[in-house]
Chain A
Amino acid sequence: MTAPVLDIAVRHRLGDFQLDAAFQSQGRLTALFGTSGSGKTSLVNVIGGLIRPQAGHVRVEGEALLDTARGVFLPKHRRRIGYVFQEARLFPHLTVRQNLLFGHWFVPHAVRKPAELDKVLELLGIGHLLKRRPGALSGGEKQRVAIGRALLTQPRLLLMDEPLAALDEARKAEILPHIERLRDEVGIPIVYVSHSLAEVARLATTVAIVDAGRIAGCGPTAEILARVDLASRPGAPEASSVLSAAVTGFDEAFGLARLATPAGELAIARGALRPGQQLRVRIMASDVMLSLAPPEGTSALNALPGRVAEIGERTGEGGSTVHLRLDCGDANLIVRLTAKSVASLSLSVGKPVYAIIKSVSVETP
């Protein structure tokens, strides 16, 4: 059995805040997902060596960077972990080129790959910025340079701490495809901190939910985001189902695209989709209605047959809300209903239902 990409267990007290987190990940992009102040950044700082925790271990592909039991603590400059900060942190006194090559200088000659710069420039589309200074870059450009700078250290792991949080929607849209290419083409495992469900659903292969310094759950993205018990926690972000999808055809007359997903066929607005394109779609739990009979006379385009697989606890104010998990084809669909609806439909585990989907968002165009 090969060692997991990332294996963490740490305990650390910061004032009143107690970080007590443990998880393992095999994913190419592991998202640490949680609200502000949940301890996500502290956790990546532990991985990156910016915080020395009181107890625990951090192993990357089997190598211990930190193991308090054995007295191992590798300082940050010897960890070979790239770190992309929320505020880019480019060096203002250096040009973009010097910023990019900053970490490259510290890579030992024996393992340094000289052709790397061109690859990174191409990957991030920043070749035209080389002579500029950070002060003359837009927020999106700065963040891309920061990513390139981290990549050029030839890291074994890339940490990204809310790299898009300080950017507007247009800049986010400019950077997201680059992060996807990074995930799919470069082969460096990424730990990505975010409080944005949309980013996590789009990018992550593995999700660890961070809640008050603990890991509430960790596993494949679709599974974690659709977990009834996690969705039922107070203050949890809204649950959603993430489905992989392929474009199978178009309904030209109405401008729709047909998608094949493990849960069944969906029709969505065509937009800029191409035939055969692979993508991810996300269905919010509150965008699904249930019907006991095949729906007729509704405006909804998408209705998938399925069975109730799990019914969660009553949550929300006065226990008004219930999360349910459906088995739809080969996938799970998470649904949020009022407790009253659950009672009036007398839903129980195993009962066949139809999921009427009001809206589908495309996470990977």
Chain B
Amino acid sequence: MSHWLTPEEWTAVRLSLIVATTATLASLPLGLVVALLLARGRFWGKSLLDAAVHLPLIMPPVVTGYLLLIGFGRRGPIGQFLYDWFGIVLSFRWTGAALACGVMGFPLMVRAIRLSIEAVDRKLEAAAGTLGANPLWVFLVVTLPLCVPGILAGMILCFAKAMGEFGATITFVSNIPGETQTLPSAIYTFTQVPGGETGAMRLTIISIAISVAALFLSEWMARLVGRRIAVE
């Protein structure tokens, strides 16, 4: 692969994969909790939480990126706290790109998981309760396994969104080759320089290939799981 991609291009591909994977895995625990709250919770401010989760989906990505910059930049309230206490810097780093991609993919992930939790038959959970399982066990051995197709779908959606994220990323962490230059940023850069068409085309093809591969992977996993939990 590396002999028909330039080192810079190869770096962008690798970085994009790392950023998207990190974003997906890091969002998963929080995504599960929020999906569970929205699907099952009854509390004040539930619609507020719902709106906040969906905000990145409806706002212009640049706005999301700018808000991240204000909040998580070195001078931002959260960014400063993270740096002072944990030495974590997000702005202009690949971790910041992962954060931006995670935030953008989060609503898609929560939506898919929430729908799958809502589809779980509560009667099965009641049955598990009568068999001696306390609520935590019921969640772990009945609800969660039955949601696996939805969780997988949510992860794939989040990953795909992260692979393609451009606006929020470039606003928050800029476009630094080797640090924050993901695939879309690299393609954008190629289109801005004379003679960059071939490079842009190569990355475009790779981008399409990764998306299609992710789609097939999710279909295959969903079928695998679906066969195991065929509904009666």
Contact = CB atoms under 8 A, between A and B. Distances in A.
Contacts of A142: 232
Say which size band chain B's interface belongs to: 20 to 34
A212 B231 CA distance: 35
A93 B121 CA distance: 13
Nearest to A137: B232
Contacts of A48: 130
Interface in A1-59: 48-50
Contact of B131 (A87, A92, A135, A150): A150
B127 A83 contact: yes
A148 to B, nearest CB: 12
B50 to A, nearest CB: 28
A105 to B, nearest CB: 8
B229 A93 contact: yes
A106 B230 contact: no
Contacts of A90: 232
Nearest to A81: B130
A83 B137 CA distance: 18
B129 interface: yes
A89 B124 contact: yes
A307 interface: no
A85 B232 CA distance: 15
8 contacts: A76-B126, A76-B129, A80-B132, A88-B232, A91-B124, A103-B133, A105-B132, A142-B232
Say which size band chain A's interface belongs to: 20 to 34
A133 interface: yes
Specify the main secondary structure of chain B where it touches its partner: helix
A149 interface: yes
A306 interface: no
Contacts of B124: 89, 91
Nearest to A89: B127
Interface in B125-146: 126-135, 137, 141-142, 145-146
A103 B146 contact: no
A92 B123 contact: no
A110 to B, nearest CB: 14
Contacts of B3: none
Contacts of B145: 93
Contact of B228 (A50, A87, A93, A149): A93
A76 B134 CA distance: 8
Given A103-B132, A106-B131, 17 more contacts: A76-B126, A76-B129, A76-B130, A77-B134, A89-B124, A89-B126, A91-B127, A93-B145, A93-B146, A93-B229, A102-B133, A103-B133, A106-B132, A135-B230, A142-B232, A149-B131, A150-B130
